[in-house]
Chains A and B, each alone.
Chain A
Amino acid sequence: SQKIEQNSEALNIQEGKTATLTCNYTNYSPAYLQWYRQDPGRGPVFLLLIRENEKEKRKERLKVTFDTTLKQSLFHITASQPADSATYLCALVGEFGNEKLTFGTGTRLTIIP
């Protein structure tokens, strides 16, 4: 069956360091992959999208990589700040036109001052 795993439930990182979150998937051939941020009691907020033919995407302090051979995406936050503390969700879409997202369980990131 299709499975999306995010590396850990919780990750603590010292302020100023780079936080790296992992998303692994099995039995899936996604057309693209997205990352969302979710704060407690709030809905997810879109951060970045990367397509199957792209290796890397950047947006300000965020970087996403996508390795379809390893079936893995890495999400990096550089120069992390306490305000980056949140749950980060990866989500896959199987094909263009069928944009039902399948989400991972999320990683709760805490940036320690």
Chain B
Amino acid sequence: DTGVSQNPRHKITKRGQNVTFRCDPISEHNRLYWYRQTLGQGPEFLTYFQNEAQLEKSRLLSDRFSAERPKGSFSTLEIQRTEQGDSAMYLCASKDGAVTNTGELFFGEGSRLTVL
């Protein structure tokens, strides 16, 4: 498998529950990004990692959100005490940081969260 893999693809949860999404990037890619996309909107940047270091976080990422990439390979995005406003598609993307002159991101298929 040479693509970005995200799990689960769909998650339905009740308000107040915690959810965790996993992203497995393309194996040789050292940069990993999380985006959130709501219906009719473009993806919005949440955070990104270079290897295991989290280099930037958006103001959209409230204290209830935490992302990790412990060994510089897969990443998890956890949302605690979910709210209905968290309902969205959570997209993961990866990039080979050494290839700085293209900027192309490779996206996964996303994890759709519905908070009831």
Contact = CB atoms under 8 A, between A and B. Distances in A.
Task: Specify the main secondary structure of chain A where it touches its partner.
Answer: strand
Contact of B42 (A42, A99, A104): A104
B110 A49 contact: no
B109 to A, nearest CB: 5
A93 B48 contact: no
Interface string A18-35: 000000000000001010
Contact of A44 (B31, B102, B107, B112): B107
Nearest to B101: A96
Which size class do B's interface residues fall under?
20 to 34
Contact of A99 (B35, B95, B109): B95
A89 B4 CA distance: 19
B65 interface: no
Given A46-B105, A89-B42, A105-B41, A97 B100 contact: yes
B107 A100 contact: no
A88 B40 CA distance: 12
A43 B107 contact: yes
B42 A46 contact: no
10 contacts: A34-B103, A43-B4, A44-B105, A45-B107, A46-B104, A93-B103, A97-B100, A100-B56, A104-B42, A106-B41
